[in-house]
Amino acid sequence: MKLIVTESYEESSRLLADMFEEVVAEKADAVLGLATGSSPIGLYRCLVQDFEAGKVDFSKVHTINLDEYEGLGRSHEQSFGYFMDQHFFSRVNIKKENIMLIDGAGKPEEQIRRYDEFLEKNPIDILVLGIGNNGHIGFNEPDRVFQAGTHLVELEEDTIKANARFFEKESDVPKRAVTMGMKGIVNAGKVVLIASGKAKAKAIHELFQDDIIDPMLPCSILKVCREAVVVVDRELYEQAENE
Ligand code: F6R
């Protein structure tokens, strides 16, 4: 697991975009693993800019997202599908049929089966991850064990509170979500985690403090990924050091 410290969130985002574009340049039909939330917004902004400048072509790529709230269909403004349409899919030339999303409004068992079948046949080439304040990746929350496959998860109180900023009120945040499990993440060719903001300092500190893989700190699974890069800006790095 490699740590890269940048001078700003913008620099981190640019670095990630370069990594994604390098993969697509080498493999036009690469499978891109994608996250939502605040962390990857800068990455999507850079990718859209470069697409508009003719520097990257997404016409053959496939995408798969990490997670989705239970009960929220793609047209719901707080769904991750809607987020992806707004920030990325509608702005580049990714083919509709090459986009793999969990349908939050669909039956979880069906979504889980569809996702795991896809991942079995199409391992991710490059995956972007954000990180929860509690160290979650995707919606793999701290737990006694890791779960390998895609699964339905009860969101932690802390996660619901952190994500309430996207909803009108905290009680609107769904209590459950479907998330890719650790198998899809560990099987990715390259995993890039981007973190910014002081709320992430404790999780980043714990991630680098030892060599232990602990389901209570889900991001620690990155230690067994083939190629994992953690990109943090200097402000967060310094906060994490002082934890
Ligand atoms: C979202 C996801 C989550 C977020 C995490 C951080 O698809 O997988 O793990 O990456 O909750 O969210 P932000 O970036 O909003 O702080």
Q: Where do the H-state alpha helices sit in the chain? A: 9-26, 41-52, 80-87, 108-121, 157-163, 182-186, 201-209, 234-241
Q: Within a 10 A sphere around the Cβ of 195, how many other Cβ atoms?
A: 24
Best substitution site from 13, 45, 66, 232 to test ligand 1's pocket, by max atoms within 8 Å of Cβ?
66
- What predicted TM-score, i.e. pTM, was given to this entire model? 0.98
| Model pLDDT, residue 203 | 98
Best substitution site from 68, 139, 221 to test ligand 1's pocket, by max atoms within 8 Å of Cβ?
139
**Residue carrying structure tokens 């896809």:** 118
| Model pLDDT, residue 60 | 98
Contacts of 50 (CB under 8 A, 6+ apart): 17, 21, 56
| Model pLDDT, residue 47 | 98
Residue nearest to atom 8 of ligand 1 (CA): 138
The CA-based dihedral angle spanning residues 45, 49, 51, 55, taken in that order and rounded to the nearest 10 degrees: -120
Residue nearest to atom 4 of ligand 1 (CA): 130
| Model pLDDT, residue 216 | 98
Distance 194 CA to ligand 1 centre (A): 10
Which residues carry out catalysis? 67, 134, 136, 141
Distance 199 CA to ligand 1 centre (A): 12
Distance 39 CA to ligand 1 centre (A): 7
| Model pLDDT, residue 142 | 97
Whether the Cβ atoms of residue 146 and residue 186 lie closer than 8 Å to each other: no
Structure tokens at 193: 């985690």
Per-residue pLDDT of the chain (243 residues; tens, 9 = 90+): 999 999 999 999 999 999 999 999 999 999 999 999 999 999 999 999 999 999 999 999 999 999 999 999 999 999 999 999 999 999 999 999 999 999 999 999 999 999 999 999 999 999 999 999 999 999 999 999 999 999 999 999 999 999 999 999 999 999 999 999 999 999 999 999 999 999 999 999 999 999 999 999 999 999 999 999 999 999 999 999 999
Ligand 1 pocket residues where CB is under 6 Å: 35-39, 66-67, 80, 130-132, 136-138
Distance 7 CA to ligand 1 centre (A): 21
